[in-house]
Structure 1
Amino acid sequence: MTTAPNLRFSVFIATSLDGFIARADGDLDWLLSATTSTDDHGYAAYMQSVDTLLLGRNTYEKVLTFDPWPYAGKRVMVMSNTLPADAVPPALADEVRLLRGTVREAAATLAAAGAASVYVDGGKLIQSFLADGLIDTLTITRIPVLIGQGIPLFGDAGHDIQLAHLRTTTYASGFVQSTYRVVATHGQPA
């Protein structure tokens, strides 16, 4: 499925019950106010399992507003054909790199850089990687809130993408987390 046999792309993301990852303006207030739980719902363990984060432009710009920077010590790549070279603040110059080109070119660059397990984050980026058959697993945590409109996790891939359910976990917070493996895309086995 991926450009190198040892390179794996995965998604770990939360959505509202109606399938949105953020409000239309990118705001995450609904997510931040949805839980008072101290349970991280598997996030820390997942982050330990990845060596590289690949963020879309909008996700990167949102994360830049967080204080402190949440990905200290991780290799972070930002996929954007429009961000200027100075979009990476000097304080993050050793941790963040911009990638340009197609998702296939990004995958090849990550493979050449020695990445083995890549966390893909950002709605449009996830959609592009799914459409090109590059995502191996999806972990989706559904938050019990309806926000009515916003940025959807999924879009039109132009074809069916078949998934195999691996597991579902329910949490006292009301969150429901399901993990799927991509088994076929473009009508071909993954």
Structure 2
Amino acid sequence: MTNIVYIAQSLDGYIAGPNGELDWLEQIDNPTHDDFGFTEFMSQVDALIMGRNTYEKVLSFGQWPYDKPVYVASSQLTEIPETLNGKAFIVNGSPHQMLSKLKAEGHSAFYIDGGALIQSFIREDLIDELIITTVPVILGEGIRLFGHSEKSVRLKLTSSGVLLNQLVKTHYVVER
């Protein structure tokens, strides 16, 4: 089983503004409409496990962007909109419990998305890889990619590259 984080962060380590704002991502000059390898990445995962706040943010975009099953980690949600039947599902429990349920459904490679969810998977030593694109902006406050941790996590850099002469994309594997 593989659990991978693929996310953008500000130079000071935030994935969203204080109220979940992502407008700073729209300021990237991308004349070629490059997806920075996201399509290739998505071809390597079976499903997404997404935090509730991230799910609600994606819903606000108006168009559902995923063609893979999305499992929304939430103990508060009770239903998914009818328009997403067969596309999004609610899952709850600890990260270990969620993975056990989803593995039993035949999934083995997961895209983990959402600040608090990523942090909980890291705490339980369940992240295998991190692909992080750093955007040259300092937000000063907001939602951090990495929160407080009781222990350090050793990473091995597998690749790094500059995108559009402004972004730095790094790929790490967790060393165990």
Q: Same fold (TM over 0.5)?
A: yes
1:48 aligned to 2:43? yes
- In 2, Cα distance between equivalents of 1:81 and 1:127: 17
- Equivalent residues of 1:34, 1:145 under 8 A apart: no
Aligned to 2:11: 17
Q: Which whole-Å CA distance do the structure 2 matches of 1:82 and 1:69 have between them? A: 21
Aligned to 1:187: none
CA distance in 2, matches of 1:173, 1:115: 36
Q: Which moved more, 1:166-175 or 1:112-121?
A: 166-175
Q: Residues of 2 paired with 1:122 and 1:129: CA distance?
A: 10
Q: Distance in 1 between matches of 2:28 and 2:13?
A: 15
User: Structure 1, residues 63-104: CA drift from partner, whole Å, max 9, x if none?
Assistant: 011121111x21110001122x22x10010111110111111
Match of 2:55 among 55, 60, 64: 60
Cα separation, 2, equivalents of 1:173 and 1:40: 15
Contiguous gaps of at least 5 residues in structure 2: none
Structure 1 position 98 matched with structure 2 position 90 = yes
What does 1:17-166 align with in structure 2 at a 5 Å threshold? 17-37=11-31, 38-71=33-66, 73-83=67-77, 85-86=78-79, 88-166=80-158
**1-side partners of 2:2 and 2:149: how far apart?**
20
The amino acid that maps onto 1:30 is W
Equivalence for 1:176:
168
Supply the distance in 2 between the matched residues of 1:17 and 1:28 (Cα, whole angstroms): 14
**Per-residue deviation at 1:172?**
2.2
State the distance in 2 between where 1:47 and 1:77 align.
15
- 2:43 counterpart SS class: helix
Aligned residue type for 1:60: Y
Question: What percentage of aligned pairs have identical amino acids?
Answer: 41
Q: Letter of the 1:57 partner, please give it.
A: R
CA distance in 2, matches of 1:148, 1:155: 15
* Greater mean alpha carbon deviation, residues 28-37 or residues 109-118: 28-37
For 2:147 and 2:136, the matched residues in 1 are separated by 21
Residues 93-140 of structure 1, C-alpha deviations (whole Å, 9 max, x = no match) = 111110111111011111111112100000000000011010000000
How many residues were matched structurally?
A: 175
1:143/1:174 contact within 8 Å kept: yes
Uncovered stretches (5+) of structure 1, i.e. residues with no partner: 1-6, 184-189
**TM-score by structure 1 length?**
0.89
DSSP-derived class of the 1:142 partner:
strand
Q: Cα RMSD over matched residues?
A: 1.0
Structure 1 residue 173 displacement after superposition: 4.0
- Structure 1 segments (4+ residues) deviating >2 Å: 34-37
